[in-house]
Amino acid sequence: MDEEYDVIVLGTGLKECILSGLLSVDGLKVLHMDKNDYYGGESSSLVLNQLWKRFKGDEDAPESLGKTKEYNVDMIPKFMMANGLLVRALIHTDVTKYLNFKAVDGSFVYNKGKIYKVPATDVEALKSTLMGLFEKRRARKFFIYVQDFEENDPKSHEGLDLNTIPAKELIGYTPFPLYLLKYGLEDDTIDFIGHALALYTSDSYLEMPAIDFVKKIRLYAESLARFESGSPYIYPMYGLGELPQAFARLSAVYGGTYMLNKPECKVEFDESGKVIGVTSEGETAKCKKVVCDPSYVPDKVHKVGKVARAICIMSHPIPDTNDCHSCQVILPQKQLDRKSDMYLFCCSYAHSVAPQGKFIAFVTTEAETDDPESELKPGVDLLGPVDEIFYETYDRYEPTNDAEADSCFISTSYDATTHFETTMKDVLAMYSKITGKELDLTVDLSAASAGAAEE
């Protein structure tokens, strides 16, 4: 502990482990510590008896649920977009060699009380039962525009500058994005495209330039085509608990040092308020920068919200999802008369996260009340019968410090989404602040297809 490090990383959550790996690859001397005796932090995976202890104390789990070690229940369950930022980071760092992935079966959206497959291409738009006949044709034209759009080819822009055109145009009293108005799409169609395809978590995207919106839809469609499954997502075999450990291995290969079970890790600052090291068990390791999750520096973060979630063990797939053994269902906020979307996540023995015949489902949302059971009911009701259900809330924090001034780089808490796009945005922003450079994730995506995606 008497050595000096470029960076000390506190916590082995996924964000911290990715950053630890990336910084080690960059040649920085990294010490990675965790107050817990296990990897993963908030994003750890639990076997059945650990899950039971968390929610039921010393009570034993019923034998009917199967062997405890056959469960890998992720506490922060999120799917990966096949062409998304996390997969690019995995390829960039060659972490794919430590993991096996399998495509996720389905991607769905909730509309007017029913679950529908999310249409992402012109062909799917025509087949979809989500829209009426005339709306299908309008949606098809819009999807063709998105599919043909090339940022560097003005001919594909149809005379629109998506960098300057605001994504909301006032017509009468109703705000419509100009690029959707051009195709005359209805409110419900705009709703599922914005939330289930572009994966925005609120309607604030309507205020933004259209370019980001179009890129997000293209990402979804290209990811969908990648493995030709029913969704644009992939997921690791045995769950996400493998991910932090894979990035930890990467860091170790490049000289990173790991210390688990280090209690009371205290970040030390000099008189000017700048990081100088971390103290644990009476010893101080010196460093130039600290990277950590909010739990290590409670005086430098503030609460910005709360996530409500239900964790369910089931003996069947989610109804009306074509018997998918793994899927995501997004319930857009307007469909539930809420301020935030609700998400259903389902995985099963097909991804080796539960015993044969068992399914793990999560219902998550940004909490708007103090009653998670009532608040999550619209999502839970879509699951059908459940063998066991646990309710929980956790607070979300964001940093309040000036990282440039104090050299303490703090991640934000995990949100309610069931995909990794927002998580990776935080990681990439932190990487840029820590290193002063952008991470180039221009990679050969086919490098993850062989052996990295088990069908």
Rg (CA), the chain: 22
**pLDDT of amino acid 446:** 72
User: What angle do the packed helices 421-435 and 14-25 form, to 10 degrees?
Assistant: 40
**pLDDT of amino acid 259:** 87
Is the per-residue pLDDT at 420 higher than 50?
yes
**pLDDT of amino acid 447:** 62
Give the strand pairing for 342-348 and 73-74: unpaired
pLDDT tens for each residue of 313-326: 999 999 999 999 99
Burial of 271 (0-12, 13-18, 19+ CB in 10 A): exposed
CB 14 within 8 A of CB 248: no
**pLDDT of amino acid 40:** 79
Domains of the chain: 4-46+240-302+397-447 (3.50.50.60), 48-106+303-396 (3.30.519.10), 118-226 (1.10.405.10)
CA separation for the pair 214, 144 (Å, rounded): 11
* Of the candidates 25, 13, 15, the residue with the CA atom closest to the CA atom of residue 251: 25
CB 16 within 8 A of CB 411: yes
Close Cβ partners of 241 (under 8 Å, ≥ 6 residues apart): 39, 40, 44, 45, 72, 74
CA separation for the pair 323, 27 (Å, rounded): 47
Integer angstrom CA distances of residue 358 from 43, 351, 386? 22, 11, 10
CB 261 within 8 A of CB 244: no
Integer angstrom CA distances of residue 88 from 2, 208, 221, 263? 36, 25, 16, 34
pLDDT tens for each residue of 207-262: 788 889 889 999 999 999 888 788 999 999 999 988 888 888 899 899 999 888 88
CA separation for the pair 252, 23 (Å, rounded): 11
The token pair that represents 70 in the structure block? 């056959």
**pLDDT of amino acid 19:** 95
CA separation for the pair 56, 373 (Å, rounded): 17
CB 195 within 8 A of CB 418: no
CA separation for the pair 256, 16 (Å, rounded): 13
Instruction: Work out the end-to-end distance of the chain between its first and last CA atoms, rounded to an integer number of angstroms.
Output: 46
Q: Which helix (H) or strand (E) element contains residue 284? A: strand 283-292
**pLDDT, mean of residues 189-201:** 89
**pLDDT of amino acid 311:** 97
CB 17 within 8 A of CB 247: yes
Averaged pLDDT score across all residues of the chain:
89
Q: Which residue's structure tokens are 């003005």?
A: 154
CA separation for the pair 354, 65 (Å, rounded): 9
**pLDDT of amino acid 173:** 23
CB atoms within 10 A of CB 154: 11
Least confident of 44-53, 120-129, 316-325: 120-129
Q: Which helix (H) or strand (E) element contains residue 16? A: helix 14-25
H-only helix segments in 195-281: 210-227, 242-253
The token pair that represents 227 in the structure block? 């493995």
Is the per-residue pLDDT at 449 higher than 60?
no
Is the per-residue pLDDT at 160 higher than 70?
yes
pLDDT tens for each residue of 399-414: 999 999 999 999 999 9
- Provide the CB-side half-sphere exposure for 188 (13 A, CA): 15
- % of the chain residues with pLDDT over 90: 60
Least confident of 75-79, 154-158, 229-233, 278-282: 154-158
**pLDDT of amino acid 307:** 96
CA separation for the pair 440, 90 (Å, rounded): 12
**pLDDT of amino acid 28:** 96
- The larger pLDDT score, comparing residue 432 to residue 156, is at 432
- Provide the CB-side half-sphere exposure for 86 (13 A, CA): 26
The token pair that represents 407 in the structure block? 């050299």
Close Cβ partners of 73 (under 8 Å, ≥ 6 residues apart): 45, 46, 47, 48, 51, 239, 311, 353, 354, 360
**pLDDT of amino acid 183:** 65
Burial of 152 (0-12, 13-18, 19+ CB in 10 A): exposed
Give the dihedral sign, CA 367/18/104/355: negative
Give this prediction's pTM: 0.90
CA separation for the pair 228, 140 (Å, rounded): 20
Banded pLDDT at 205 (limits 50, 70, 90): confident
**pLDDT of amino acid 303:** 97
